[in-house]
Every structure is written in C-alpha cells, then in structure tokens.
Amino acid sequence: MAFNETMNEMQQQAVLHTDGPLLILAGAGSGKTRVLTHRAAYLIEEAGVNPYHIMAITFTNKAAGEMRQRIDDIVGYGSESIWVATFHSSCVRILRRHIDRIGFDTNFTIYDADDQKTLMKEICKRLEIDTKIYKERTFLSAISSAKDELIDPIAFSLRAQGDYQKQRQAEVYKEYQASLRKNNALDFDDLIMKTVELFKTDAEVLEYYQERFRYIMVDEYQDTNTAQFQLIKLLAGKYRNLCVVGDDDQSIYKFRGANIYNILHFEKEFPDAKVIKLEQNYRSTQNILNAANHVIANNVGRKRKELWTENGEGEKVAFRQFETGNEEADYVAGDITSKVRKGICGYKDCAVLYRTNAQSRLFEERFIASNIPYKIVGGVNFYARREIKDLLAYLKTIDNARDDLAVRRIINVPKRGIGATTLNRVQDYALQQGIGFYEALKMAEDIPTLGRGAAKLKPFVTLIQTMRSKAEYIGVTELLQEVIEETGYVEELEAENTEEAQQRISNIDELISKAAAYEADETREGPATLSGFLEEVALVADIDSVDEAQDYVVLMTLHSAKGLEFPQVYLAGMEDGLFPSYMSICADNSVEEIEEERRLCYVGITRAKARLSISCARQRMIRGETQYNKVSRFVKEIPASLLAGEIRKEREPERHKPTMSQFARQAFRAKPMAMTQAAQVPPVKNFGGNADAQVLSYVVGDRVKHVKFGAGTVKQIVSGGRDYEVTVEFDSAGVKKMFAAFAKLQKL
C-alpha cells in the first residue's frame, strides 16, 4: 500500500503497528481519521487480516458513516465485512442475539428520553414521591451516572447508606430497573451496561465476540466512560490487538460521564502498550498552535505533547478588551463585515465561539442589525428557546391577554394539573360567546361544563391579574423577576440539578439582562414600556429571512465546536467567572474543574485555521446587573509575543457603580431582590442612622432621579446587610421602596 509519500513518519508508525495494544495520542488537526482508515486498509491488504475480524467504534452515527465511506473508498471489495458502528448500535446488535441469556426477550424495546420521563413519573407516583421536592429529572440523572460507572441498584443502595437523599434515589433506581425489565425495555445507558453484564456472566458469548473482533480500533477514546472502557477491555481480552485513538487535551465531556483516566491510565491497564504521538498539525498556523500549546501546558493531568505545523507562522492572535459585552458584539460584527467586504473571507469562513448558549443573544442582535447571515449550531435562536418563549408568553399575556397561543402555552407552566378536557371546554365556551380564551378563563365559574375544573383555573387568572396591575407601576425588568419568582420557574430548574437546567437558567439570566438593557437604553424613542419591550424582542427574534443554504456565520458553544474547523474564529467572553466559570473556580475539586475548562479553551483555539480573535469585556450584564470580571486566566497564559493587542492593567470598578458577585445569584434565586447583596464597597458613613449602609452617591434628604418614576426625595435608607432598601417620595409616582443596586438612582 503506497502511503509513504502522503503520511508523515508518526502516522506511518501508527498504521504499521498492528499487533498488541496501541495508544495513538492524536493532537488537534493531526489527521487521526486518516490514520484509522489507512490502518484498516493495511490490516487487510498487507497483514492479510480478514475484514470480518476488524471492528471500528466511533461515538456518533455521522462519524461512523464517514469512516465507513472512507474505508470503502480505500479498501474497496471486502470492506463491507468490517464492523464500523457506534458504541450503542454495536451493543444493540449484540443484545438482539443474546440478551435472552440474562433474562430479557430479544425483541426488547429501547426507551428514549421521553419514555424515560413518562416511566419516572409513574414510579414517583407509585412511590408517593413529591416531585415538587424530588424532581424526576434528578432521579434520571443519578441513575444515568450510576450506569456509566456500572453501578447496579444493589451496589447503589449499599453506597447510599446513611444518606437519605441517596437512599431515596436507590429506591427509585431499583423500581425503575424492575419496571424496565417488566416492560422488556432498556434505556440507552442499559445498552452498554447490559452488554458488559452479558459478557461477564456468559463466557461462551464473550469468547464468540473475542474471536470475531481480533482487531479493535476505538476513535475519540478520551470521551469514553467507565462502562465503555470495560466493554472494550472485555472484547480485547483474548487477542489484545486494541488500538485507541484520542487526545486527552480534548477531553471535555466530563458532564456526560467521560472518564479522562481511561486514556491517561491506558498504559497501566496495558503495560506493554506502544504509545505514538501525532503532533504535526495540518489545520492551523504556528502562532495559533503556540497559543494553544502554552495554554494547555498549564494542565497537570495530561500526557505531554506539542503541536507544530509546516503551514507557516501566520498572523498573531488578535486580542481585544472592551468595556461592555455590547461593545464586544459590535466589534465582532464590524470585523466580520469588514473582512467580507475586503474579500479576506466569506461569512461561512467565520465562527463565533462562546462558553454558554446564553451568550449568543448579543451577537444575534448585532448580526441582524448588520445584515450578517448566521446560523446557531448546537442550539436554537435565543428567543426560540423554551424557557425564553415561556417567560415571554407570560409577559405577552400580562400586556395583552388576547394572544390565545401565549395563554395556552403557559397555563400549565408550571404544572397546575389543568387537563386537556378542561382547556377544550374553556375553548368551546370562548367560541360560543365570541370572546378570547383568557376572557373565558376569567369567567370559568360561569361555564357549566367545567365543574370542579374551574377551581384549578382560578390561581392562574389571579396571578395574571395581579401581574397586570403591577405592570402599571413597576419596570419591565422588575416585572419579569416577579413572574419568575411567583411561578417558581427557576426554582424548578435548580431542583433538576442538571447541565441542561443550568444552561436554561443562564438563558433566563440573559433575558433579564436584555430587559434591563432595554430600560437603560437612552437612544430609545419614548418611555420604556412592556409593549415596547415585547415589540423590540419580536423584531429581533424574526430571523426567518435568513437563508441557511447561503453564506452564514456560525454561532456555537465551545462544546459544539469540537471536531470542526474554520479559517476565522472569534473566541468571545474570555473572562474569569464566565470562562472559566464561577462554578468551576469555586468547586470543591476546583483544580480538576479548571483543567477541564482549560481543555475546552484549547479546543476553541485549535478550531482556528488562519486567524484567531480573542475578546473579553471589563463589565458584563448578568441577570440584569453589571458584573465586573478580570481577563480570563487562560488568556494570560498566552505569551504577549503571540498577541496583537495588550492586556490592560486590571482596574477596580468605580465606587458609585454597584457591582454584583456571581455568588449573589444563589441568594437571588432564593429571594429575587437579594441579588444586589454583593456590592463590593466598604461601609464608611452613616445614612440616616443606618450604620451598615454602604457608600452611595446620595443620602436621606437628597433629590434623586429614577429612570421610570422621574424625580423624587430620598426619605429613608435601611440596611439589608449587603444591600439597602431606599424609600423615595417621587413627585409624580408617590412613595416607592426599592433596593439601591437595582434602582440605580442618580443624584440631582
């Protein structure tokens, strides 16, 4: 097979080493897929291995399909006998033949996420579990994590001794598995776990597959969990011709159960393993690779490697610091427009990468305003996300209850036990009377067909009516916060305690920031009103005119970007507290968490082929409040000689501007107005007899101005410990009480 002219020396070594365990440490952009496909071809054409005895495992159907196509193109006749599949599809094929040996019928059903939720609801009801306290999703997450580690219900119960919450989870886990068996069903985690169980309990079946798969190759090995590792170890136990390909520096899926120690400790499991490093990069310029190398070198838990390329030095990494997130988004939009106009690149050559989906909002708005076509990958349009649509539907109903779709969307959000039959009867009554759906809800007691169902509708109507009355004298931001508090929307998400829930909470925080930015916008025509806010959001959210078949900029999280590459990459929001996140900085195992975040940064940097732009903001609005962050530690790990742009000296925030610590968010969610508790200004003087009050630009008796209520006189300032409640008698709006950091009063 002629590959000498097209493959570098280390790639050739990886292809030629066919016997015994092999670990290929493939750096970003080093051509690992090419190595795997050529290795399969070499086994068949040169080593005389029957294609039937070769197995190649990937993580996604797309990756499996691409590998299958490339092997077919190289090998040709006979390649169809190679087993190329994902972990889950491989296990399904095995279990369809042999699962009867461990008590299931071979015609088992596979439960998807919705099936799991339905089953969990039944179990919680059966066990009389209050799902307001113990969320179904929390149980499912705990069970999934246990299965990733091959912990069955019995072992889980033993480990739960002395921990009431864990014991409750063990009880649910046991009942959940019993129900699955009764229904002859498996969930996705079971597919791996049950295959391992089958191999461990049936030597005949294990030997059959060990004989079948004499040569095994595993792609993206750094993303395997404990169960997948055990599966591979069992299959390779006889012939030990196991080749795993991966990059520990790109292990970023710990939250999905990935165990980085599978790749870090490979030589401990296989002491005779050969290790080959693929360090030549075919994607990026040397300056980009040098930046990536310097950042990842700060991780302790890694196998040392250093990327290099023959692509040339290239441009320096552009670095920009901005005062606000708005300025950052303006810069990115302007830079893309400029480069496209000059012919440097097309829209499709550009990608904006960020840590959380919530960060997309500012970029979406700027791109729409600048007529930049874009597509969100790994997420949906900010205003089309479920939690955003839910909360906007509440605001729409409060503002104008004639929007039947909005009312029907939220009438059971959160769950109020209102059934479809009740809603249909209300709808029928509305049609008969020629009135709107919400008007019919207000008249529920007069609808004869409802009976007891009318009582369930009353709390919803009362909530909306209360909010409608408040909307007359409080701002949009405060109204939104009231809705979140009264509905318990964020509390429910927090109780789930999942990665998805945290992402949704971040999106809600961003919506609050959007409302606060709208109210503070001095360029807005007319006063800040709820109707005006909804109109602005509706216009921004309307991106149906974007033709995704044409040139477009890609917006995505760093997790979604893995495996992709772009000529021009913008890494946005590079600030401590955002990336790395406060959760990782403050975690009990902060060293491990920050190393995972650093690997994510490494992935982001190495997506860039020709040009990389890194940006951050000195202040950013989080949950409607201004938060001050330092430049990300990851940026500071890049030598200044590689950057075009300097890291300015850190400045303390101005004293007259209240700041909010990320840690205050937890208190906010317990009691919304506590969000201002962390103003970082030392107490120095007495305000109207309140010794604990912090420095403000006004005292009792001063004249002040509020963005909504106008001018007034400060009557009282009461300390709340870390924030203070200010009472103001406004000239036209009367007496109002508000928290200082939220009110943003200006002294006249």
Question: What residues are labeled active site?
Answer: 32-33, 219-220, 250, 607
Residue type, 22: L
Q: What is the DSSP letter of 722?
A: S
Pairing of strands 608-622, 317-324: parallel
Integer CA distances (angstroms), 123 to 40, 151, 154, 172, 415, in order: 47, 20, 18, 7, 18
Assign 567 to helix, strand or coil: strand
The one-letter code for the residue type at 522 is E
Q: What are the CB-based long-range contacts (under 8 Å, 24+) for 695-698?
A: 695/655, 695/656, 696/656, 696/724, 696/740, 697/656, 697/746, 697/747, 698/745, 698/747
Q: Which residues of 166-198 are buried (b: 16+ CB within 10 A; e: fewer)?
A: bebbbbbbbbbbeebeeeebbbbbbbbbbbbbb
Q: Are 644 and 657 in contact (CB under 8 A)?
A: no
C-alpha separations of 71 from 19, 46, 224, 611 in Å: 20, 15, 23, 33
Start-to-end CA span in the chain (Å): 83
Q: Which of 603, 611, 614 is nearest to 646 (CA)?
A: 614
Instruction: Using DSSP, state whether 131 is helix, strand or coil.
Output: coil
- Six-digit token string for 370: 């600048």
Which residues are CB-neighbours of 157 under 8 A, at least 6 positions away? 167, 170, 171, 173, 174
What DSSP state is assigned to residue 379? S
Task: Kindly write down the DSSP assignment for every residue of 195-212, as one continuous string.
Answer: HHHHHHH-HHHHHHHHHH
Taking the C-alpha atoms of residue 118 and residue 175, their distance in angstroms, rounded to an integer, is: 14
Residue linked to tokens 């999934």: 144
